[in-house]
Amino acid sequence: MWVFSTAGCRWLGAAGSLAVTVGGWAAGTLPVRGGWGLWQPRAPGTETAGAVLAYLGLTLLLLAWWQYGRRLVAGADGRPLVTLGWWAGPLLLAPPLYSADVYSYIAQGAMVLEGHDVYGAGPSVLAPGELGHDAAASVGGHWTDTPAPYGPVFLVLAQAVVKLTGGSVLPAVLGFRLVALAALALIVWAVRGLGGGPGALWLAALNPLLLIHVVGGLHNDGLMIALVLCGLLLAVRGRWVAGSAVLGLAMMVKSPAAVALLFVGVLVARSRGVAAGLVLPGAVAGAVAAGATVLAGTGFGWLRTQSVAATIHTALSVTSDLGLGLGLLVGDDPEPVKGAVQKLGLAVAVAVIGVLAWRARKGRTDVVLGLGVSLLVLVALSPMVQPWYVLWGVCVVAVASGGEAWSGRLGQFLAVLCAALTYETAPSGHTPAYGFALAGLALALGLVWTRRERWGGPPAIPRPVPDAAPGPRARPSVAPPRSRTGR
C-alpha cells in the first residue's frame, strides 16, 4: 500500500504531527497568563476533544515512524532530513506540549536579570511588575519554590531569550523553540559526523519521543544531548581537548553530561596512558565549567542544587518506588529508607558505568556504545526519571558501531521503549493513570512485535584503535559500517 511507502510514511507522520499541534492548542500546557488570547485554557469539553486529537495524532506519528524504520531496515534511503522537516514543522507554532518546564526556564532567566539568586530560590520570588512574573504563574506546583538545577550556560541562554522578548510569555516560548531547533540541527550534524546514516537519524532525530519533548515540550535535554554528541564527535576524531571543552559546556546545561568525559578519557588513555585519560578530559571540562560560571555571573550555586530534582517523586524511578514501598513497610516515615535505596541505586549505576568504561578501555566494548548504555543505566537507577531522559542514551546508541547499532536488537528495543514512553505524559503535562496504561499496552505490543520481527543481531564490537598520538587525522574509535544482512 502507498501509505506504507517512505513517501506515505512522510505524509502520515506529518498529519499526526499536525494533529498533535492542533490538539495542543486546546489541551497543551497552556499559560495561565501571557498567551495573547491564542494560548489560553479552554472549556473542559474542548480540552478533552483536543487531548483525544493529540493522542490520535501521536499514534499516527508513531505508526509512521515505525513503518519508516522497517523500510530503512529493508534498505530504503527514505530522505530522512526531508522527513524530519515534515514531522517537526507543524510543531513549530504549537504551544508548550507535555510539560510546563519552559515557563521555569523563562522565570529563571528573568530571575537572573532581576538580581535574584536563581540557585537559592524558585520562580515564586518574582513580584508583579518584574520580568518573568507571568511565566512564573504557569510553573508547575512542584517547581514554584525549587532552585534551578541547571548550569550557568543554559541560564545565559535563558537570560538572552528573556531580554530579547521582554519576558513576554508567547514570544519567549517561541525563542526557546529556536534554541530547541538549533539543538536538533546539532544532533543531526553530529549523528552524521559520527557515521550515522538514515537509520541512526531515524532513532535519534526522527524519534517521536524527541520531537514531542524537545521540539514540542522545549526541554533543555535536547541541548545537552546535542553538545554531548558534538563533544564525542570531536573526541573520536582525535580532537579530545576541544571535545572535552564542549562536554564542559554540556555539563553546564545539565550535569549528567559528565558521564561522557569518562569515555573520552578511554580514548585519551589509549595513547597517553590511564592516568592521563582519568585526569586530562576532566581537567579541561572543569576549567571550561569554572570559566563559564565566572563569566555568567550566576555563581557556583549549581554545585548544591544538583540533587533538588530527587526531592520530587516520579513514578518511573524504580529506586524511588522501591524505596517508598520498603519505607512504608518498615515505619511511618518512609523517607530515610527511600533515600538509602536511591543512594544505593546511584552507587550501582556508578559501578556499572565503571565496568563499561573498563571494557571499552580493553577493546571489548565500543566506546560509543559503552557511553550510550551507561547513560541508559544512569537513567534507569536515578532517583528521578522523566520519559525524555531515555533520549540521553538512545541518541548515543543510535550512532554506536559505526552508526549501525540502531538496527540491532538493542536499537529495536529502545525504539519500542521510546514509542511506549510517548504515551506516559498527557499534552497538558500531567501524568494520568490512563497514560501509564497506554504506555504499558504500547510496550507489550511492541515487545511482541519485536519477537516476531527481529531486525538484526547485537552490534559488532570493533577492534581497539592502535595506540597513536591523537590528531586531526586520527580515525574515529567506532566500528566501521557493517552490512545489514549480517537503536
Q: What is the C-alpha to C-alpha distance for residues 207 and 150, in angstroms, rounded to an integer?
A: 25
Q: How confident is the model at residue 3, as a pLDDT?
A: 67
Count the neighbouring beta carbons within 10 Å of the beta carbon of residue 427.
Answer: 32
CB contact at 8 A, 235 and 114? no
Q: Out of 267-271, 432-436, 448-452, which region has the weakest mean confidence (pLDDT)? A: 448-452
For 307, residues 6+ apart whose C-beta sits below 8 A from its C-beta are: none
Q: What is the C-alpha to C-alpha distance for residues 418 and 405, in angstroms, rounded to an integer?
A: 16
Local structure of residue 116 (DSSP, 8 states)? -
Q: How confident is the model at residue 468, as a pLDDT?
A: 37
**Ranges of H-type helices in 89-215:** 101-113, 133-136, 152-165, 169-193, 198-204, 208-210
Q: Out of 131-140, 148-157, 447-456, which region has the weakest mean confidence (pLDDT)? A: 447-456
Q: How confident is the model at residue 360, as a pLDDT?
A: 94
Nearest to 65 by CA among 458, 422, 430, 429: 422
For 279, residues 6+ apart whose C-beta sits below 8 A from its C-beta are: none
- Whether 459 shows a pLDDT value over 80: the answer reads no
Q: How confident is the model at residue 284, as a pLDDT?
A: 97
Nearest to 285 by CA among 306, 307, 264: 264
- What is the mean pLDDT of the segment spanning 7-35? 93
Q: What is the C-alpha to C-alpha distance for residues 223 and 184, in angstroms, rounded to an integer?
A: 8
Percent of the chain residues past pLDDT 90, beyond the cut: 74
- What is the mean pLDDT of the segment spanning 30-37? 87
- Whether 313 shows a pLDDT value over 90: the answer reads no
- What is the mean pLDDT of the segment spanning 14-34? 94
* Alpha-carbon radius of gyration of the chain: 22
∠373-378-380 over CA atoms, to 5°? 90
Question: Which amino acid belongs to residue 59?
Answer: T
State pLDDT tens for residues 269-306: 988 989 999 999 999 999 999 999 999 998 898 888 88
Q: What is the C-alpha to C-alpha distance for residues 306 and 254, in angstroms, rounded to an integer?
A: 9
pTM of the model: 0.90
For 168, residues 6+ apart whose C-beta sits below 8 A from its C-beta are: 34, 134
Q: What is the C-alpha to C-alpha distance for residues 124 and 242, in angstroms, rounded to an integer?
A: 39
Q: What is the C-alpha to C-alpha distance for residues 366 and 232, in angstroms, rounded to an integer?
A: 13
CB contact at 8 A, 37 and 3? no
Q: How confident is the model at residue 307, as a pLDDT?
A: 77
> pLDDT-based confidence at 14, cuts 50/70/90?
very high
- Whether 363 shows a pLDDT value over 60: the answer reads yes
CB contact at 8 A, 419 and 387? no
- Whether 72 shows a pLDDT value over 80: the answer reads yes
Q: How confident is the model at residue 486, as a pLDDT?
A: 38
Nearest to 118 by CA among 141, 152, 166: 152
Q: Out of 10-19, 66-75, 338-347, 365-374, which region has the weakest mean confidence (pLDDT)? A: 66-75
CB contact at 8 A, 367 and 361? no
Local structure of residue 194 (DSSP, 8 states)? T
Count the neighbouring beta carbons within 10 Å of the beta carbon of residue 31.
Answer: 24
CB contact at 8 A, 173 and 218? yes
Nearest to 218 by CA among 262, 157, 166: 157
> pLDDT-based confidence at 464, cuts 50/70/90?
very low
Question: What is the per-residue burial (b if ≥16 Cβ within 10 Å, else e) of 343-364?
Answer: eebbeebeebbeebbebbbebe
Nearest to 51 by CA among 457, 428, 368: 428
- Whether 333 shows a pLDDT value over 90: the answer reads no
CA torsion sign for 232, 234, 236, 241 is negative
Give the H or E element holding residue 378.
Answer: helix 367-380
- What is the mean pLDDT of the segment spanning 100-114? 95
Count the neighbouring beta carbons within 10 Å of the beta carbon of residue 451.
Answer: 8
Q: What is the C-alpha to C-alpha distance for residues 429 and 27, in angstroms, rounded to an integer?
A: 9
Local structure of residue 425 (DSSP, 8 states)? S
Give the H or E element holding residue 379.
Answer: helix 367-380
- Whether 456 shows a pLDDT value over 70: the answer reads no
- Average pLDDT, whole number, for the chain? 89
State pLDDT tens for residues 189-241: 999 999 989 999 999 999 999 999 999 999 999 999 999 999 999 999 999 99
**Per-position DSSP letters for 335-371, written without gaps between them:** HHHHHHHHHHHHHHHHHHHHHHHHHHHTTSS-HHHHH
> pLDDT-based confidence at 112, cuts 50/70/90?
very high
> pLDDT-based confidence at 472, cuts 50/70/90?
very low
State pLDDT tens for residues 115-137: 999 999 999 999 998 999 999 99
**Ranges of H-type helices in 168-310:** 169-193, 198-204, 208-210, 221-236, 240-251, 259-272, 274-296
3-class DSSP state for residue 307?
coil
- Three cell numbers at 249? 559546556
